Amino acid sequence: MMSESMISLSILRSDGNAILTAGLSDDELPSETACLTYPATLLDWEYRFVFPAASSVVPAEDFSKLVVMYISSFIGGLAISCLLSIFTYRPLGRTLKRIVTHTGIRPSGRGLSSDYHIIEHSFETLEEENSRMKASAKQYEQTVRTDVIQQLLKGCFQLEAIQQDLLQYKIPFSPENFFQVIVISNADLRSTRMEPYTAVKWMDCLRERLKAVSGCRFELIESMDGDLIVILAFSAQEFTTQVDVSLVRELILLCEPFLSQRPLISVGGVHQGLVGISVSYHFAVEQRSHLPRSWDYVIGDDTNGEQYYYPLEWEIQLISSLKAGNHGAANRILEELRKENRKLKPLRSDGASAKAGVKLVSMILDTFLRVISELSLNDRLFMEDLDVVFTNESFDHKWECLLSICERICTLASREKESSAVSCLGRELLDYVDDHFRSSDLCLKTLGDRFNLSIQSISKLFKTAADDTFYNYLYHKRMEYACHLLRTTSDTMQSIANQVGYENEFSFKRAFIRYTGIRPKDYMENNRS
């Protein structure tokens, strides 16, 4: 361990006494020296290196030896680690195998370069798929968002669910808002002749203009009819004064550069609540149908005192509830219709002479009569209420009769539905007995277990379906089959008894004699001679 540059090397005990000294002893050391001590790793010893005072740094030759030793140790350890990982642990190999199995990518050559090429290609593919998934998710969210707004335009009763959708898809509407709907119609929109780039640029121009309307949030979508729908939401009713003739004229001017002809714009009135979106849209479309050819726009809900709200979507829901016998849902639809129509000017009074009230009642009555006809209900059961509707001038009395007719239709439809269900179950029960009458363990209890009914219920249901008791029906079924076997086979009596559900020959013979009046053997001989 002693190099040429050292003058002394000693190994010392813990008490400082030297065990071994190489080179000069302590007494021979010069006055100016550089001393370096280093503790031993195994024993409680200490190494002392003594250098001349001029050699206060580690000699270059010693330093180079140490560097070479450490580098060699590092490279050797790294090589040994690589060898151990290759022979004992192959995560890269397993990863490559899974990539090749799932993607079908085959290595172009051998070695690490080919393996890393496969991994790089896999990460690129993964990134592309991730981008496509994000784009699909965004497109799906936009589609669902449009569907939610379409539901609001049609009229939606499930307000709790729709409010959750509004929060989830960040649609800035709430039940406290006031809503106004603008319908922009044009032949270019209906015929889809507009280029996608032009359509996007046009929509952006409209959005920029609508953003300037103070106190207002908006949504802009395309309807199923090809119209462009703008839904404006105001936090307070006084802000609706911003939607006036000047704004509509500006919208027309904005549309002209993108369309081949001037658009027709109809604006519904201002209505509060989420249902108000449907009300405003309904009247905007209604106003458009009455728009003179020389006009480019119309604003408000004025329809000469004939204003009523009964959209097609609500009628469809009402018909569905009536046919299902769901009186709660049907009654709720009628109450919502009454509440929304009460908000309209022509029905705020008594309604005795309001044309809108008469038309609304007539439209609902027409829906009732259609359901009565489709369900084949006895129309005489509704004559009394129909007479009141046709003769009484009071809107409230007419409406009470509508509620009464609604309740009666739902009651009859519910009974018809229950009767149909019972009939279907009875037919299924008869089919089961016809298929299993040869089984000796067939009884009311097994049928009750099979159809999850009590013995009393299964007996009553079977009698209704077959117009006979279960055991009488089963008895005749078995004897008819026994007669068939006696005529067409040469089986023994015991075999025939087992085939028709009797465990022993004696019980079968007694039942057969009671059914035909003669013994099975005589029946066989008489029908074969």
Domain definitions of the chain by residue range: 172-299, 312-419, 437-526
The CATH classification of domain 172-299, taken from the options 3.40.109.10, 3.40.50.2000, 3.40.190.10, 3.30.70.100: 3.30.70.100
Average pLDDT value over all residues in the chain: 81
Tokens read off for 148: 């939610």
Q: Is the pLDDT of residue 347 over 60?
A: no
Region of poorest pLDDT, from 9-18, 24-33, 69-78, 299-308 = 299-308
Region of poorest pLDDT, from 110-114, 311-315, 384-388 = 110-114
Residues 256-278: tens digit of each pLDDT: 888 877 888 888 888 888 888 88
**Using 50, 70 and 90 to split pLDDT, how confident is the model at 341?**
confident
Q: Is the pLDDT of residue 493 over 50?
A: yes
* Across 57-73, average pLDDT: 73
Residues 222-262: tens digit of each pLDDT: 877 778 899 999 887 666 556 778 888 888 888 888 887 78
**Using 50, 70 and 90 to split pLDDT, how confident is the model at 187?**
low
- Specify the residue for token string 């549309």: 255
Phi, psi angle pair for 69, to nearest 5°: -65, -45
- Specify the residue for token string 């590092």: 74
**Using 50, 70 and 90 to split pLDDT, how confident is the model at 353?**
very low
pLDDT of residue 238: 61
Tokens read off for 19: 């065990």
* Across 336-343, average pLDDT: 84
User: Amino acid identity of 174?
Assistant: S
The CATH classification of domain 437-526, taken from the options 1.10.490.10, 1.10.10.60, 1.10.287.610, 3.10.180.10: 1.10.10.60
More confident residue, 441 or 3: 441
In angstroms, what is the C-alpha Rg of the chain? 47
Tokens read off for 16: 């400082």
pLDDT of residue 88: 59
Nearest to 320 by CA among 308, 336, 332, 309: 332
Nearest to 322 by CA among 366, 357, 285: 366
CA distances from 229 to 53, 164, 233, 476 (A): 96, 23, 13, 71
**Using 50, 70 and 90 to split pLDDT, how confident is the model at 63?**
low
Q: What residues does 277 pair with on adjacent strands?
A: none
Number of Cβ within 10 Å of residue 203's Cβ equals 15
Q: Is the pLDDT of residue 150 over 50?
A: yes
Q: Is the pLDDT of residue 351 over 50?
A: no
Cβ-based burial of 347 (10 A; exposed 0-12, middle 13-18, buried ≥19): buried
* C-alpha dihedral sign at 473, 475, 478, 482: negative
pLDDT of residue 406: 92
CA distances from 403 to 26, 103, 328, 365, 387 (A): 122, 64, 11, 10, 14
Tokens read off for 161: 């669910």
Residues 390-429: tens digit of each pLDDT: 777 678 888 888 899 999 899 888 887 777 767 788 888 8
Q: Compute the residue count for the chain.
A: 529
Where are the alpha helices (H) located in 437-500, listed in sequence order?
A: 444-451, 455-466, 470-488, 493-499
* C-alpha dihedral sign at 455, 461, 467, 473: negative
Task: Compute the distance between CA of residue 488 and CA of residue 508 in angstroms, rounded to an integer.
Answer: 18
Task: Compute the distance between CA of residue 484 and CA of residue 480 in angstroms, rounded to an integer.
Answer: 6
Beta-strand relationship, 264-267 and 297-299: parallel
What lies within 8 Å, CB to CB, of 250 at 6+ separation is 209
Residues 500-514: tens digit of each pLDDT: 999 888 889 999 998
Q: Is the pLDDT of residue 437 over 80?
A: yes
* Across 129-134, average pLDDT: 88
Q: Is the pLDDT of residue 350 over 50?
A: no
pLDDT of residue 352: 41
Residues 300-334: tens digit of each pLDDT: 765 555 678 888 888 888 999 998 888 988 998 89
